[in-house]
Amino acid sequence: MRSRVRVFGHAVHPALVAFPLGLLATAVIFDIVYLSTGSDGFTLAAGYMIGAGLIAGLLAALFGLVDWLSITPGTRARRIGAKHGLGNVVVLVLFGFSWLLRAADDWYPGGLALLLSFGGLALAVVTGWLGRELVERLGVSIDPGAGLDAPSSLSRQPTPARSPDERIYPAR
């Protein structure tokens, strides 16, 4: 299934998800550094990372929803996509509450704020795996003519559709 929103031939949602994942994971790393060193600068940096990660996550979610709505109802891909999307909403809610708790306490993370962000990151690992399941096993967001010799996405050449029996990657 080809992604509905594309730029220069590439799906937008999979390109955007790297930003919230990276930003939110970096916030957790900054929390760990703060806990290890006591250096106050990392508390503010973690707050900025969470804020940027929430914005990026909402943007990625918008494009993900557009793609999910185009998946055929009743399929495994639609069910996995729903778990992936809803799980990521929970990730954003957990980090959002963590951000609010930090903002209310001059950016110092208390135990609950840390628990929420660490839990959010753990859940993001699971939802990220579900996202890769959608792409790698279920073919969501894969061009129908994908293959080792497919033309560039920037060329105006169409990719020939493949039969269901034809492999994207050659057998070894």
Report residue 107 as tokens: 């950016």
Q: Is the pLDDT of residue 54 over 90?
A: yes
Q: How confident is the model at residue 46 (pLDDT cuts 50, 70, 90)?
A: very high
Average pLDDT for 133-156: 82
Ramachandran class of 83: left when φ > 0, alpha when ψ lies in -120 to 50, beta otherwise: alpha
Cα–Cα nearest to 113, from 27, 40, 33? 27
DSSP codes, 146-172: -STTPPPTTSSPPPPP--TTS-SS---
**What is the spatial distance between Cα 30 and Cα 37, in angstroms, rounded to a whole number?**
10
Q: What is the mean pLDDT of residues 142-162?
A: 75
Q: Rounded to two decimals, what is the model's pTM?
A: 0.85
The Cα 62–Cα 157 span in angstroms is: 29
Q: What is the pLDDT of residue 6?
A: 74
The pLDDT mean for the chain works out to 89
